[in-house]
Amino acid sequence: MPTPPRWAPSTETHDEPHGRRRRPRPRRRGRARQRWGHSHGPRIGSAGAEHQRPLAIAFGLTATYALVEVVGGVLSGSLALISDAAHMGTDTLGLGLALAAIQLAKRPAAGGRTYGTYRLEVLAAVINGLLLFGVAFYVLFEAYRRFQEPSEVLGVPMLIVAAVGLIVNLISFRLLMAGSKESLNLKGAYLEVMADMLGSVGVIVGAIVIAVTGFRQVDTIVGVAIGLFILPRTWQLMRQALRILMEVAPPGVDVDAATRELAGVPGVKEVHDLHIWTLTSGMEAATVHIVVDDRGVDWHGILDRTRSILMEKYGVTHPTIQLEPEEHVEQPAGF
């Protein structure tokens, strides 16, 4: 295979995750043209887009029940029910944000948004986390106030509303389970629904205790338990979202090991400026500069081999690889 011409030392490959599909070029005659061509592959979508319908159903159920629970919490005077209603309200907003982010992420890249709007899903996860923190701290504060001044709680209305809530949460929990394993955005919504489901169980237990024993403080204890349950799971969600926003390498990806493996490809002299990061859940990107021994090596073969390593072993869905001849002098990039 002949070496590429000296006037074109760089070769790039990437899969298009955004924008319009390229119009296929007509096949040209000539052996050299066919050897040096490469395809851009299929359009890649975010993981959350595959689960939009169950998310929409969960949003409708949660929004409807949130209104019912607010009324039930006020009428019964239950802190546990009110805290669960507040959490259901943030669930409704969070699910709405998740849906909006997925819909906006489908838009093609335009203008300066060269990667489209995929990061909106991650921003929605961050906003969800902030809302959950706010609800948890509100519940803990209200619990402290009620320990100082206990209030009357109606056990039977509290029990009825919580039982309906448990059914709604079980349905939403099942709908979001599959998507939570693939999308950070849906994982945030899934964690919220899970917290609500366990909260409903706690409220039901509290209502039964109040109806049987008259011990009203159990309502406050359940409210505190819900708040404490929310906090660590919210922190875990925020950590994952912030890692993406900081463009840290995906969990489990060893950048140094990837550099060594790319450098071990026959014909590769040096690897530098390897960056691997996450655009949104299920979409990892990478850029790398590879110095090639230009003494009769197969540049096209090196391109295919290094691309295969990044995609198959390190899960990169959008690799951009720049091949450089040995005599090329790289200017400092600043990072």
How far, CA to CA in Å, does 170 sit from each of 98, 118, 199? 19, 29, 12
The predicted pLDDT at position 118 comes to 73
Phi-psi domain of 116 (left: phi exceeds 0; alpha: psi -120 through 50; beta: other): left
**Single-letter amino acid code for the residue at 260:** R
Helix axes 184-213, 79-105, angle to 10 degrees: 170
* 56 burial via Cβ count (<10 Å: 0-12, 13-18, 19+): middle
Residue 13's pLDDT is: 44
Tokens, residue 3: 């070496």
Q: Specify the 3-state DSSP secondary structure of 318.
A: strand
Q: What is the pLDDT of residue 327?
A: 78
pLDDT block averages, 10 residues each, the chain of length 335? 43 42 40 42 47 80 81 74 71 74 66 71 80 80 78 74 84 77 68 76 84 82 78 81 89 92 93 90 88 84 94 92 82 59
pLDDT at 4: 46
DSSP state of 296: S
